[in-house]
Amino acid sequence: MSQIEAQAEPDSASVLACLEADLTEEGRYGHRKVELTEQDVRVFDSAGTVLLTLPLTDIADARNEPLVSGGRLIVDTKSGEEITVCSYSLRHSTEFSDMARAIEHLAKEGEFLGQPPRAKIRCEKCNELLPEKDGVCPRCLNRGRTMLRIGKFLKPYKKQAILLALGSSFATLINMIPPAIQGRILDNFNLGDKNTQFLFTMVGAWAFTLAIAAVMQIVNGRMNTYLGSHIASDLRKETYAAIERLHLAYFDRKPVGAIASRVTQDTDRVWFFLVDGVPFFLVHGLMLIAVTVILFKINWLLALAILTPIPLVALISMWAWKPISNLFFRVSQKMARVHMHLNESLMGIRVVKAFAKEDDEYNKFQIRSEELRQAHTRADRTWYTAYGMMTFCVAMGTAVHWTVGGWMLYTGKLTFGNFYIIHAYLGMVYGPLQWFAQVNNWFSRAMAGAERIFEILDMTPEPQAGSGKVIEVKGDVSFDGVRFGYDKSNPVINGVSFDVKAGEMIGLVGHSGAGKSTTINLVSRFYEPDLGRILIDGIDYRDLDLHSYRQQIGIVLQDPFLFHGTIAENISYGKPGATMEEIMVAAKAANAHNFIVAKVDGYDTVVGERGARLSGGEKQRISIARAILHNPRILILDEATSSVDVETEKEIQEAIQRLVSGRTTFAIAHRLSTLRKADRLIVMERGKIVEQGTHEELMNQKGVFHDLVQTQSAVNEIIGIGSK
């Protein structure tokens, strides 16, 4: 079995989940079966012999340990013993991650989680591989449903849509008149009537009709552009708003370039179809019906003969529809990958140049570009094959007309004028039929793009404003048995509990990967606990209004992010509408005022993309000024002084001391000596708290924190910096 499955057999009713491992205890290929029951965890060999039984009452937690090309499922008992349940190859890692999570949750909570949702790599209907995980299957895409959803965006523009439909119908009727006029002129001439007044009257009517047709084309074009651009704009805005409301975990999984392509490339495809495809289909569809009626009215026998290739055109179109749709869907996927690589390489251009990797990045881009070229080639090749076959059918229709119609003309069964009218209308029938496949091309691209947009719109967003209690945060923070893992079965923090009083400054200390940054991510509610609770002023923060809660949090990051704009705009980002006086007060408190006014444009200095025109220390102080002006109740400092020189650090430390006053503060510092003024230090290892106390108390304990300080001091001495 390749995944956790609930057992259905009556004789194994207590078995909740079962997995098969493919490695033995020695790391060789072999068969092991792991069962999770209501009472214990069991391991069997290939003969069905029980190798291990672990009662759930003895289990403290379960986890996965990654190994080369595989991993191990490990259980920690309440007595402190570490037991390897089984080993498995890499292809089973996801399933055993789910099993570890299920074992621990059942042992602690007495509840079986069931089979967790998995990323889909195959379509549930046709079992074909999806272009991307959890993506849309181009084969099974419900285009009708998608088109109806796009149609819902027409609701604000009902009047314009009705006017466009009426205008298109009228334009179709107008376009039917010129061939009839030309036919009457020819018939009148053949009858020997050379009345010039009749000729000039008909030509005048013809010119008047052309003028009306031109006016209708302009009016309909403008109306259609208005509708198409507004609908695409609404789609673009709604997609962007939906992306902003998504959980942060979504952005951990998806590259920025792939997300950005939903807002730009996919909405543009919908716009193109609405502006060009819909009018073409509407006008020429109506024209096809009207021309067919007129042809049968003029001469039903000839009409029947020249329209015989139409079923062939329809069959070719039906044959090409699915393949062309699938191929152009894949083109959109390849295009998104090109955008993703381009966005990533440009954002990291400094790193690329620093390591002289321009050629490597070019080679990667070349591969992506070649994949896109091949996808485009396959799609266009299929399209032109279908188009060529339909062109042949059209030519056959014209040949039938000249053969059958010519015979009728020679035998007197058809007038020359009617022959010409039918010939003119024939182009109105077969011309659009040739390009209906192109409309299908536009339609397929638009539907693929729309479905990718709706995939974003349909995702579960973060709780919106007004969905919880709105309180004025005092700053009491409590972790109550909190467990969290980006991979649910591998907790980054596990069973963490501590209490922080309002106004207290807490320093988070530990080795890299101990869980410090994850802890402050949880405080910020970027993620929520898998188990346990986080209380703010005694209230589970999942019951609080998320928008209001985050407005009362301030963050100063190790690598501060500044938006492209002026220094004043960046400082006032958290408080729109702040006066210049307020901005300057915040800048002075952050020790930033002096270097700002020393610049030519002062507070109007443009910082560049991500603050590229400022030094690291300048960006950090602007970030602190932004937090000061924001005036949060809970403050988070994540390595705020790790990337600056000693002199700049001193200035930043002075600014931080003003910032933390009266606020609940969580601080992570690269230099442990900078946490001396913290009210309390929390030392973490492997996601658990191992020590708590003041800087002096922990140094006197000579435990983990003492060892960290000594190690850092020794390293500083080795590199010639020294510990101050």
Q: Across-strand partners of 496?
A: 482
Which residues does 280 contact at the CB level (< 8 Å), separation at least 6? 432, 435, 439
Most confident of 137-141, 191-195, 364-368: 364-368
Q: Which of 451, 6, 52 is nearest to 270 (CA)?
A: 451
At 418, the pLDDT band (50, 70, 90 cuts) reads confident
Q: How many CB atoms lie within 10 A of CB 29?
A: 8
What domains appear along the chain, each with residue ranges and CATH number? 10-109 (2.30.29.30), 149-457 (1.20.1560.10)
Does 535 have pLDDT greater than 90?
yes
At 402, the pLDDT band (50, 70, 90 cuts) reads confident
Looking at residues 678-684, what average pLDDT do you find?
88
- The letter for the amino acid at 337 is R
**pLDDT number for residue 421:** 83
Looking at residues 175-204, what average pLDDT do you find?
78
Does 22 have pLDDT greater than 60?
yes
Looking at residues 437-465, what average pLDDT do you find?
73
Does 721 have pLDDT greater than 50?
no
Torsional sign, CA 191, 197, 199, 204? negative
Q: What is the DSSP letter of 592?
A: -
Looking at residues 623-643, what average pLDDT do you find?
79
Looking at residues 457-476, what average pLDDT do you find?
79
**pLDDT number for residue 645:** 58
Of 242-251, 367-376, 474-483, the poorest mean pLDDT is in 242-251
Whether residue 701 contacts residue 535, with contact meaning beta carbons closer than 8 Å, is answered with no
**pLDDT number for residue 250:** 76
Terminal CA-CA length for the chain: 59
Most confident of 42-46, 447-451, 513-517: 42-46
**Percent helix, strand and coil across the chain, each rounded to 5?**
60, 15, 25
Cα torsion through 607, 611, 612, 614, rounded to 10: 70
| DSSP β-ladder status, 553-556 and 634-638 | parallel
Looking at residues 147-157, what average pLDDT do you find?
79
Looking at residues 350-367, what average pLDDT do you find?
81
Looking at residues 633-643, what average pLDDT do you find?
74
**pLDDT number for residue 478:** 92
- DSSP assignment of 404-425: IIHHHHHTTSS-HHHHHHHHHH
Most confident of 92-106, 112-126, 394-408, 539-553: 539-553
- In whole angstroms, what is the distance from residue 43 CA to residue 96 CA? 13
Please give the share of the chain, as a percent, with pLDDT higher than 90: 4
At 722, the pLDDT band (50, 70, 90 cuts) reads very low
Locate tokens 């009705």: which residue?
Answer: 162
**pLDDT number for residue 673:** 66
Does 325 have pLDDT greater than 90?
no
Q: Which of 605, 603, 604 is nearest to 613 (CA)?
A: 605
**pLDDT number for residue 614:** 84
At 7, the pLDDT band (50, 70, 90 cuts) reads very low
Q: Which two tokens stand for residue 716?
A: 């500083």
At 247, the pLDDT band (50, 70, 90 cuts) reads confident
Q: How many CB atoms lie within 10 A of CB 627?
A: 27
**pLDDT number for residue 194:** 64
**pLDDT number for residue 432:** 67
**pLDDT number for residue 501:** 92
